[in-house]
Amino acid sequence: MKFEAIAVENIPLIHPGDDLPSIICMNMELQDRDIVIVASTVVAKSEGEVFRLEDITPEEMALEIAARSEKDARFIQAVLSRSREVLIEKPFMLVTTLEGHTCVNAGIDESNIEDGFLLYPPKNPDVSASRLGKELERLSGKKLSVIVTDTNGRAFKIGQTGAAIGIYKIKPVKRWIGEKDLFGKILEITEEAVADELAGAANLLMGEGAGGIPAVVIRGLDNYCEEDISIKEIYRPEEQDIIKKGLRCLQKKS
Amino acid sequence: MKFEAIAVENIPLIHPGDDLPSIICMNMELQDRDIVIVASTVVAKSEGEVFRLEDITPEEMALEIAARSEKDARFIQAVLSRSREVLIEKPFMLVTTLEGHTCVNAGIDESNIEDGFLLYPPKNPDVSASRLGKELERLSGKKLSVIVTDTNGRAFKIGQTGAAIGIYKIKPVKRWIGEKDLFGKILEITEEAVADELAGAANLLMGEGAGGIPAVVIRGLDNYCEEDISIKEIYRPEEQDIIKKGLRCLQKKS
């Protein structure tokens, strides 16, 4: 049992309107059941999610947070425009996005784009993954899964890992409910977050700096799935999220 | 640029005292710069970290927590014996272990072992990784890295992913400080948690249930490193850990 992770090389700098599926197909011969993993930065660029900092007018909440945290109020406004809750204000802004993803700065990026511009994440990463996946399937004639990924920090540890923010034809979580362990005991609910593990695996080739590889194919696993699925099933239901309750508790204190 | 992940197959059920390095070498021809990823369950079993539930005498704190959470006080005692702090008591026990790792039940496992027994994680996973790595290098004559892994849940999302708990000859975090991004801008500190991404990649082949593959080799990446390193550098320093502060805030309230 094995799998390969293959970098899709020679992808040029992507601009709004670029045909990302064609560019990927020109640089990689896809096979049935390949999992095509694409960095959200290039998806967002191709979708034109680029905004000028100077066009953003900070509103009251952004100005208040800026005063407390000494950050650029326009950047904070951008983050708030894509968020439904602020969990931590400083030293970094941890938010839950409109899409339900909890991450720093709502995934808005000041790097890997010209000065004075901000790159927002794709508005609906599942839709982006689906659009990309359908076109890749049409161009290649193969059954494909797609994962759109970002890099995120995590609780209790330093460092970032690749994380899935949008999916197409792959279950985000593999469930081992009711299967037996090595001793014949029925396993309690075990849920393996395969979409995030795949995102992390791809990130080992993607790199964060100038050597960036924005797309990776993972080949040899059997995760292809015809169902209509959303990455949102991976987000912990609010009422079960003790860590969010802890962060709100802290905010009330301060 | 690519890498392969290869399952080490035919590893038998492991018992205390088993020669795990030899068993691995008998089932896999290792190459220079291979990263050998081994599930903590088999490392712990070979190290004899198996204890009978009935031999555990719960002390006061365990009895108190058991009363509040309706769990087996002996199991709680086991968890406390390996923990330095309890962050959440119920519905699951989230602790920081003596080794600094924050996880559920201090990594103590009731599954994948006979009834009435508990499998503890390796006492010092870095030492286990080092011992395993040196012996694998001696047997194979190759330069090797080793990662000992567990599966852990994470904040804000459901599901578990592979996570590194012990390492040998591989940096847990790859730093991209001061490198330039695609536009020549100097990147702020970017730290890629490669040890955890590798653990997640390996877990895609390891599986949670009866099909368990306890060891995976990742081949083709350049992460080999001669330095003396510990996984502990991946744990967020306490004074910077806002999420822990949030959980303590919640505990004070209740």
pLDDT confidence tier of residue B181, bands split at 50, 70 and 90: low
By CA distance, what is B182's nearest residue in A? A210
CA distance B157 to chain A (A): 4
Give me the phi and psi of B102, to 5 degrees please: -100, 120
Partners of B183 on chain A (C-beta within 8 Å) are 111-115
Q: Which residues contact B3 (CB under 8 A, 6 or more apart)?
A: A4, A5, A204, A205, B218, B219, B220, B221
Q: Output the pLDDT for position A176.
A: 77
Chain B residues whose CB is inside 8 A of the A246 CB are 243, 245-250
Q: Strand A94-97's sheet: what is its strand order? A: A83-88, A94-97, A102-104
Q: Which two tokens stand for residue B111?
A: 């599954």
Instruction: Provide the CATH topology of domain B4-49+121-253.
Output: 60s Ribosomal Protein L30; Chain: A; (3.30.1330)
- Select the more confidently predicted residue: B113 or B21: B21
Please tell me what DSSP assigns to residue A32: T
Contact B187 A111 (CB under 8 A): yes
- 3-state SS, A160-188, equals EEEEEEEEECECCCEECCCCECCCCCECC
The residue of A157, A181, A182 whose CB has the most chain B CBs within 10 angstroms, and thus the best one to mutate to test that interface, is A157
Stretch B67-78: mean pLDDT, rounded? 92
Q: What's the gap in Å between the CA of B130 and the closest CA on chain A?
A: 22
Which residues, 6 or more positions from B67, have their beta carbon under 8 angstroms from its beta carbon? none
Q: Do A180 and B204 touch (CB under 8 A)?
A: no
Is there a contact between A190 and B201 if contact means CB atoms under 8 Å apart? Answer: no
Split at pLDDT 50, 70, 90, the class of B116 is confident
In the predicted model, what is the mean pLDDT of residues B106-118?
80
Give the mean pLDDT of chain A. 92
Q: Which of B88, B114, B157 to mutate to test the interface with A (most CBs of A within 10 A)?
A: B157
Residues of A with Cβ-Cβ distance to B151 under 8 angstroms: 192
Contact B192 A151 (CB under 8 A): yes
pLDDT of residue A115: 79
Mutual orientation of helices B20-27 and B125-140 as an angle, nearest 10°?
50
Does B220 show up as a binding residue in the annotation?
Answer: no
Under an 8 A CB cutoff, do B190 and A183 touch?
A: no
Q: Check residue B71 and give its pLDDT.
A: 87
* Reported pTM: 0.95
Could you tell me if B246 lies within 8 Å of chain A, comparing CB atoms? Answer: yes
Instruction: Give kind and range of the element (H or E) at residue B160.
Output: strand B157-168
Residues composing chain A: 254
Does residue A183 surpass a pLDDT of 70?
no
Q: What is the pLDDT of residues B211-226, one digit of tens each?
A: 579 999 999 999 999 9
Q: Residues 6 or more apart from A194 whose CB is under 8 A from it?
A: A170, A171, A172, A173, A174, A223, B204
Cis peptide before A214 (omega within 30 of 0): no
Indicate the domain borders of chain A.
Answer: 4-49+121-253
pLDDT tens for A120-172 read: 999 999 999 999 999 999 999 999 999 999 999 999 999 999 999 999 999 99
**What is the interface pTM, i.e. ipTM, of the complex?**
0.95
For residue range A82-102, list pLDDT tens digits in order. Answer: 999 999 999 999 999 999 999
Q: Is B109 annotated as a binding residue?
A: yes
Average pLDDT (A27-44) is 97
Please tell me the distance in Å from A2's CA to the nearest CA on chain B.
4
CB contact (8 A) between residue B245 and residue A241 = no
What gap in Å lies between CA B94 and CA B105, rounded to an integer? Answer: 6
User: CB distance B236–A111 less than 8 Å?
Assistant: no
Residue B192 has pLDDT above 90, yes or no: yes
- Distance (Å) from the C-alpha of residue B159 to the closest C-alpha of chain A? 5
Look over chain B and give the mean of its residue pLDDT values, rounded to a whole number. Answer: 92
Band of the pLDDT at A182, cuts 50, 70, 90?
low
B interface test, pick of A15, A71, A182, A253 with most B CB neighbours within 10 Å: A182
Examine the pLDDT at A210 and tell me if it is beyond 90: no
Instruction: Give contacts of A187 with chain B, Cβ < 8 Å.
Output: 111, 208-209
Report the chain B residue with the minimal C-alpha distance to residue A3.
Answer: B5
Predicted confidence (pLDDT) at residue A186 exceeds the cutoff of 70: no
Q: List the single range of A38-52, A166-180, B190-204 with lowest mean pLDDT.
A: A166-180
Give me the mean pLDDT over the A104-123 stretch.
85
Residue A250: its chain B contacts at CB < 8 A? Answer: 242, 245-246, 249
- The pLDDT, as a whole number, for residue B70 is 84
pLDDT for residue A185:
63
DSSP state of B233: G
Of A159, A187, A244, the CB nearest to B193: A159
For chain B positions 165-194, those within 8 Å of chain A (CB to CB) are 172-173, 176, 179-183, 185, 187-188, 190-194
Question: Between chains, do A159 and B6 touch, taking CB under 8 Å as contact?
Answer: no
Q: CB contacts < 8 Å between A and B, how many?
A: 232
Whether B99 has a pLDDT exceeding 80, the answer reads yes
Residues of B in contact with A9 (CB under 8 A): 1
**Is A233 labelled as part of a ligand binding site?**
no
